[in-house]
Amino acid sequence: MRLSRCFLPVMKESPSDAQIVSHKLMLRAGLVRQTAAGIYAWLPIGWRVLQKIGQIVREEQDRAGAIEMLMPTLQSADLWRQSGRYDAYGPEMLRIKDRHDRDMLYGPTNEEMITDLFRGDVKSYRDLPRTLYHIQWKFRDEVRPRFGVMRGREFLMKDAYSFDIDEAGARNSYYTQLLAYLRTFQRLGIRAVPMKAASGPIGGDLSHEFIVLAPTGESEVFYDAAFEEFDWAQEALSYDDADGLKALFEKVSTTYSATDETHDEARWAEVSPDRRREGRGIEVGHIFYFGDKYSASMGLKVSGPDGSMVTPQMGSYGIGVSRLVGAIIEASHDENGIVWPETVAPWKVGLVTMRGDDEASVQAAEDIYKKLTAAGIEVLYDDRDERGGVKLGSMDLIGLPWQLVIGPRGLAQGVVELKCRRTGEKVELSIDSALERLT
Ligand code: ATP
Ligand code: MG
Ligand code: MG
Ligand code: MG
């Protein structure tokens, strides 16, 4: 992408309406713009990050055997009357009337709709277990939308729903999602600690929240340092291994972690003091097992192996895809700007000419841009008519993992500079070795 042709409005000053660093940086680096309270337009760079995060979430859901689909954002109130949540949900639900005066709503979540879809088409235990998911916009009319996309009113969520014939099956589905979440967050380059949660309005008895540490987080958290050492991606654990998944759940459950809501001073005292980690955190995911709460109230039944009718056991599993953009920035930035983990960076390389009026530099940059692009490497080429220092400042702010900088003096000696955004380390290399490093 050539910066001169992109829509990437970078701001020099820190916007005064943003309170936390991720919100400030998202505005300054041109990721989002607010269009109404808690509602955001995703500008090209923000949209690229949002899609990268969504894609990692998708790949890990697929690996875990969940099946992707897409449900609409608008729902009929009648469905929610059947579960009893139409009245119970309260003012967070955006209620709408269509031209025929029918009650509609903009979905804050999809338990009712997926249960209705299942009810229509699934008749036998042979069609279970199933876990279906979608990545779709939600609306919750938050009392206080704030911190940018972290607490928006419209936001993007991955929500999955599992259906099993009995509790043992449902627990296995829950453990499967637990592992998928641990792997997802690790790939996103953040440490999200699973914490036992009170299950709240969705109901049910088994529930974990996934919390990213950040000083601006809304809840207080306590956990054993062991959570900083686990490597879930490497763990040789198969989704087909039910005993292994159960053991994973037990390991997670017996290693201390809690939010202020579930914190237990007596158990905390048993954690050795040098392993106690305390801080504030951001909820980026939440998984629930809630049994037959929706299947029973909405009359979903399948025929069991012996011919009798059985009410399936369900769970639901959310990840705040758009909130993650802010949460990742909270966890990964410095005084100059964003520092993207390589897996979610909008582009891998930023290409900069220090002197846009130097013929040789421009030619070298054009050539490198073509070669990297042909090799499938995502490059943002700053070909704007700006001073070198300004371009470098923008690159630091935008936070791409690598900066390839071309200056007339180096070029005369056949070298360019490659900078690692995270460490700040710079090396001078021939163009060929720089290309080799990046491909
Ligand atoms: P919170 O406690 O922050 O209000 P929640 O517990 O109400 O979140 P869930 O119903 O568990 O949210 O939804 C699943 C995920 O959706 C959350 O873990 C969070 O990452 C994301 N999410 C929820 N509300 C918002 C919001 N207003 N803006 C952005 N993401 C959100
Ligand atoms: Mg909420
Ligand atoms: Mg919550
Ligand atoms: Mg929650």
- Cβ pair 412, 361 in contact under 8 A: no
Give me ligand 2 centre to Cα 160, in Å. 17
Percent helix, strand, coil in the chain, to 5, is 40, 30, 35
- Parallel, antiparallel or unpaired: strands 276-291 and 313-320: antiparallel
> Quick one: which atom of ligand 1 is closest to the CA of 200?
6
> Quick one: which atom of ligand 1 is closest to the CA of 159?
14
The confidence score (pLDDT) of residue 15 equals: 85
Residue ranges of the chain with pLDDT lower than 50? none
The confidence score (pLDDT) of residue 200 equals: 57
User: Closest Cα to atom 31, ligand 1: which residue?
Assistant: 320
Give residue-wise pLDDT tens across range 286-305. Answer: 999 999 999 999 999 999 99
The confidence score (pLDDT) of residue 16 equals: 83
Tokens matching residue 153: 């009113």
333 residue type, one letter:
H
The confidence score (pLDDT) of residue 335 equals: 96
pTM: predicted TM-score of the whole model, two decimal places: 0.96
The confidence score (pLDDT) of residue 233 equals: 78
The confidence score (pLDDT) of residue 216 equals: 87
Q: Which ligand lies nearest to the CA atom of residue 110 in the structure?
A: 1
Q: Which ligand lies nearest to the CA atom of residue 218 in the structure?
A: 1
Give residue-wise pLDDT tens across range 176-230. Answer: 999 999 999 999 999 999 998 875 555 556 999 999 998 889 899 999 999 999 8
Tokens 């390839």 found at: 404
How far apart CA 274 and CA 267 sit, in angstroms, is 15
Give me ligand 2 centre to Cα 155, in Å. 12
Tokens 């062991």 found at: 226
The confidence score (pLDDT) of residue 236 equals: 81
The confidence score (pLDDT) of residue 332 equals: 95
Give me ligand 4 centre to Cα 210, in Å. 9
The confidence score (pLDDT) of residue 202 equals: 52
Q: Which candidate, 335, 328, 330, places its Cα nearest to that of 396? A: 335
Give me ligand 1 centre to Cα 363, in Å. 48
> Quick one: which atom of ligand 1 is closest to the CA of 324?
20
> Quick one: which atom of ligand 1 is closest to the CA of 145?
27
Give me ligand 1 centre to Cα 320, in Å. 6
How far apart CA 388 and CA 61 sit, in angstroms, is 43
Q: Which residues in 367-424 belong to E strands, given as ranges?
A: 379-382, 402-406, 415-420
The confidence score (pLDDT) of residue 17 equals: 83
Give me ligand 1 centre to Cα 267, in Å. 28
For helices 242-254 and 167-187, give the axis angle rounded to 10 degrees. Answer: 70
What is the ipTM score, two decimals?
Answer: 0.99
CA 399 centroid distance within chain:
18
**Which segments of 321-387 does DSSP mark as H helices, in order?**
321-331, 359-374
Q: Which residues line ligand 1 (CB under 6 A)?
A: 140, 142, 151-152, 155, 157, 283-286, 318, 320, 322-323
In sequence order, which residues have a C-beta less than 8 Å from that of residue 396 and are 6 or more positions away? 336, 337, 421
Neighbours of ion ligand 3 (CB under 5 A): 283
Peptide bond between residue 129 and the one before it cis (omega within 30 degrees of 0): yes
CA distances from residue 169 to 216, 316, 390 in whole angstroms, order as listed: 38, 14, 57
User: Closest Cα to atom 25, ligand 1: which residue?
Assistant: 151
- Parallel, antiparallel or unpaired: strands 309-310 and 302-303: antiparallel
In sequence order, which residues have a C-beta less than 8 Å from that of residue 438 and are 6 or more positions away? 348, 349, 372, 377, 402, 404, 418
